[in-house]
Structure 1
Amino acid sequence: MINMQNIRRRLLAALLTGSALTWLPVSLASEALYDTVILKGRVIDPETEFDQIANLGIKDGQIAVITSETIVGSQTIDASGRVVSPGFIDIHSHTPTRLGEHLNILDGITTQLDLEAGAWPPTEYGDHYIGGAQLNYGSSVGHFAVRHAVMEGRVHSYFFTEDGFINTTGPTWTEGASAEQIEQMRIRLIQGLEEGGLGIGVLLDYMTDAVSESELQMIFETAASVAKPVYIHVRRGMPGDPNGLDEAIALAEATGAPTMICHITHSAMGGINEWLAKIDEANARGAHITTETLSWLAGGTAISADVFRNRDWRAIFNIDYEDVQWVPTGEWLDEERFLRYQRDYPGSSVNHHYVKEAWLLDALKWPDMMVSTDALPAFDLDVKTNPNIAGTFSHFLGRYVRDLGVMPLMEGLRRITLLPAQWLELSSDAFAKKGRLQVGADADIVVFDPDTIAAEAAYGDPYQPSVGISTVLVGGRLVASEGRRIEGRYPGKHILAPLATTTKFPY
């Protein structure tokens, strides 16, 4: 007679001592308690501050148990010597493409959001994922796209195509709106929020001379009316000038709209401490304002952006032509090539190297500073982008958390998991189950080696995947194992948060 108990005991021992990923035989899989178990990892939950060697069991896409007891699953992942963390949430991305998704997964990103630019309608965001996504994704309602529909009579739901950035020299970006046009924008913004947009994204600095005080006030009032956040790229002045921030703070206080200041280090520059102090003072008065920073030091945007066409960008950024890279090739520019590429390839991107690491270190001292990628679009390995797309979170955890000791690992993980999830609960209840490792939470999980995690990507060589991240699960399903992405699994969801009513208005 076959002794099944002994077989199971020997099988469990093999699972606990064998390879990193093991599957139960079909004959025993039906008797396994969990779909997947992650064994002997250092499980870290930033909300409860749980930090112990433990076993984690997943059932039906959610965490079912965290225990020191022996558990068995149909699939076993050995996490010995590694950290088991909530999946990383990228609150500021611009790369909802297949290539962007593939590189994001290998950097531990399980939720990818464009909240600064947004889309309209928000249901159209992520069209590259029409056949399924490996990570979760979503967007705000894009004010720029609403403005485009009103000012130019055409719907352009997102701000780039495979040919590059959309034209930023037309009426959408350069002309003021009438009172009637502002009202038409308001109707469309409400419609986008009703359809599930996660707030309103405002590319204000890209249309700084076009957007009036009354239009901007309408945006904040619209968001406040449904208690959704505003995500704003504030107007940029000379280095450190806080006037753009002051404008956003005043509207956040006057309307009560929750407000995120996008990529504050790249906007504040040497004035970062003053800017953060102003946010603290406003919050002490009752405002609800937060912010985020990049872990990379260059800025990345369209070569035809307003700041490069209509303003003294060399004075604003305190750099010159030789500090700018043309993203498609990675080449460093001079004045002749900059102007030629701007004329011939207005939809292309540049990396402009102006942020000092000291400013970033000051930004990271702020207790609630989130970290994001601000990744530029990526479509093809032969057309370069910035390294943010492949190495933001590994760079943050490797350089700033481990090597420079800017903060403990628990706190570093809080900045890229729990903090964004808690902020995003303003937009959708779905985020109450993300950014955490707790029973009942979504099984969006990253397993990594804290001693080796690092970015391999670099400016001019942006597509090198991170090292030290071995396993990524989204919704309880493996999308990366042994540091390699798994093709053919698409557990990601389009996160939308529709309001209760619907405004009937034609696109």
Structure 2
Amino acid sequence: MSLALAFLITCNFTYGQSTKKNEAKVQFDLVIKNGRVMDPETGFDKVANVGINNGFVTRITTDEIAGTRTIDASGHVVAPGFIDYHSHAQEPYGHKLYVRDGVTTPLDLEVGAFPVNEFYEFWEGKSFVNYGTNVAHVGARLSVLDGQEPDGRVLYSAAMGRAMNDGSQFKTKLYDPKDEKAIVDAVEREIKQGALGVAYPIGYYTVVGSPEVNAVTALAGKYNLPITTHVRYLSQIPPSGYMGITEMLTIARQNNAAVLFHHVQSNCLGLTGPCLDLIDAARAQGQKVVGEFYPYQYAGTYVDADYNRPGFEQRMGIQASDYVITATGEHLTPKKLDSLRTAAPGTNLLMYTMKEEYIMEAFKRPGTIVGSDGMPWIVEGDEGGFNATFDTPYGAGNGHARGSGTHARILRMVRETKAISLMEAISKMTYGPASFLEDHVPQMKIRGRIQEGSAADITIFDPKTVTDNATPTIGENSLPSTGIPYVIVNGIIVVDDSKVQNVAAGVAIRNKTIE
């Protein structure tokens, strides 16, 4: 039974039929009128009015309805709120840019959090977007191998910096079966704190043994959770990203775990097509698997990432000058890169590795989803670098433009290339992500759709003008998207006439805790 049908039976509504006799008496908290309502699950696509009560869509009709607040969406698309499973910009400034880009649910599933409970406590009662996380496998390794305890948000944690400056055992110690039990126990403890799944960014610690990954994935199978992965080997020559995908497909299949592959085109480069073919073949054989992409030719990284070690030129087809220091915009020379390996291995970089044809291959492939991989924002003068606040001005944060403009860029690509339909593009940002997670996280069953009974997470955009404005240039990579004047989270207007409201509209996307 569909979400809409179940809701209508429960509430005794008549979906899509005229009720003009009684409609004038119905009052809603919020009404969106005259917009092109597009629901990718059902294919519903028509100009209609949407009524919202208590955080839920309770009416979609062509009849006149009244609300305490009304938004006239004439000439605009009314879509489900965008869902982004690849968000590292887990701070108010990052969230402010996300909602301007139409995102209502930015989750960190690639790296995750450790401890999981601290992540949820950090955001409780103060997030204007929905928030959630996987358990960070790398966090368990930091704890067990480096003796460092992250403070929930792993990428922001001082523990990561201490480990990087003290041998980085989490990414340099060769596989030892004696470590396995402690790491598995640490991951299981955090799963029980309501994690959405298990995150494996093993492209950043390729020394990890496959038996360890398999043992941890057995936990995902035990608790009916998905795994997500940035696979080993950012390379188009052996050992390649293609090999990394085959490894994780095998491990996921062995443990009956769903698997999400982050930024396929970034790892596979010239092998993007064959990598997506692998994923499609596995899905055709009954495996639950999805590939993700983002629409930019440059990636975010740091100096000491495994794939940036000497020999990167052949592996990725780039030169030292294709690396740019994120905070300054400086292009590297071979000498400068070598000096940073020793003096500042954690320096954040942009690297120009991807060609337009790799991106279009993923963009046009049915079943792929969009994930921004939005990185933490660096603000000049901050000692820690990642201390942007809600009031930090647009343009002041330095980072990757994908954290500002990914979703508007996808919509602009639809308009300019016509390579896929608008409905398919919306699905890649809404229903596609939701449907991957919904069998494991019940809250996602009512997101990624715009139907009677769905959560009122809604993005309203002008298909003729919506665009990304962020560029790689310092001062421009955190410019907000435009053409998305209204964004609603759980029935609360968070972007109102293109102005972000700092209201606690978001809810925790979280599994039940286990005693």
Separation in 2, partners of 1:495, 1:319: 39
Greater mean deviation of Cα atoms: 217-226 or 389-398:
217-226
Offset of residue 216 of structure 1: 1.4
1:217 aligned to 2:232?
A: no
Write the distance in 2 (CA, Å) between the matches of 1:174 and 1:126: 30
Map Cα deviations across residues 314-369 of structure 1 (whole Å, 9 max, x no partner).
22211111111111122222223333444443333111001001011111222110
Give the distance between the partners of 2:188 and 2:512, measured in 1 at CA.
11
Give the corresponding residue for 1:22. Answer: none
2:103 to 105, 109, 114: 109
Q: For 1:325-364, what aligned pairs fall within 5 Å after superposition?
A: 325-364=324-363
Q: Which residue of 1 aligns with 2:277?
A: 277
Q: Deviations over 1:177-219 (max 9, x none)?
A: 543421111122122111111110001111102x112101112
Number of residue equivalences: 467
2:226 corresponds in structure 1 to: 229
Provide closer, same or farther for how the CA distance between residues 390 and 127 of structure 1 changes in structure 2, counting only shifts above 3 A. farther
Distance (Å, rounded) in 2 between the aligned partners of 1:165 and 1:405: 43
Deviations 1:146-174 (A, max 9, x none): 11111122211333228896344511111
CA contact (8 A) 1:97 1:126 kept: no
Identical positions, percent? 31
Q: Distance in 1 between matches of 2:168 and 2:481?
A: 39
CA contact (8 A) 1:38 1:76 kept: yes
Match of 1:174 in 2: 172
Deviation at 1:285, TM superposition (A): 3.0
User: Is the deviation greater in 194-203 or in 159-168?
Assistant: 159-168
Distance 2:303 2:512 in 1: 35
CA contact (8 A) 2:298 2:351 kept: yes
Distance in structure 2 (CA, Å) of the matches to 1:316 and 1:126: 39
2:49 pairs, out of 51, 55, 80, with 55
Separation in 2, partners of 1:498, 1:176: 35
2:147 aligns with 153
User: Partners of 1:307 and 1:359 in 2: how far apart?
Assistant: 19
1:300 corresponds in structure 2 to 300
Partner SS, residue 441 of structure 1? coil
Letter in 2 for 1:170: S
1:38 is aligned to: 32
Equivalent position of 1:491 in the other structure: 505
Change (3 A) 1:88 1:237: closer
Q: Is the 8 A contact 1:295 1:372 kept in 2?
A: no
What is the aligned-residue RMSD (CA, Å)?
1.9
Contact 1:291 1:370 in 2 (8 A): yes
Partner of 1:426: 439
CA distance in 2, matches of 1:334, 1:223: 43
Unaligned stretches of 5+ residues in structure 1 = 1-30, 503-507
How far apart, CA to CA, are the structure 2 residues paired with 1:432 and 1:131? Answer: 23
Distance between the aligned counterparts of 1:60 and 1:308, measured in 2? Answer: 50
Report if aligned partners of 2:132, 2:196 keep a CA contact under 8 Å in 1.
Answer: yes
Query: Structure 1 residues 55 and 125 mapped into 2: Cα distance closer, same or farther (>3 Å)?
Result: same
Structure 2 counterpart of 1:75: 69
Task: State the partner residue of 2:426.
Answer: 413
Q: What TM-score do the two structures reach when normalised by structure 1?
A: 0.88
2:58 and 2:72 map into 1 onto residues whose CA distance is 18
Q: Does the aligned pair in 2 maintain the 1:252–1:289 contact within 8 Å?
A: no
1:24 counterpart residue number: none
Compute the displacement of 1:383 (Å). Answer: 4.7
Per-residue displacement from partner, 1:10-49 (whole Å, max 9, x unpaired)? xxxxxxxxxxxxxxxxxxxxx8710000011111111111
* Alpha-carbon shift at residue 138 of structure 1 (Å): 0.8
Distance (Å, rounded) in 1 between the aligned partners of 2:340 and 2:275: 34
One of 188, 191, 211 as aligned partner of 2:189: 191
SS in structure 2 of the partner of residue 376 of structure 1: coil
CA separation of 1:462 and 1:197: change in aligned 2, threshold 3 A: same
TM-score by length of 2: 0.87
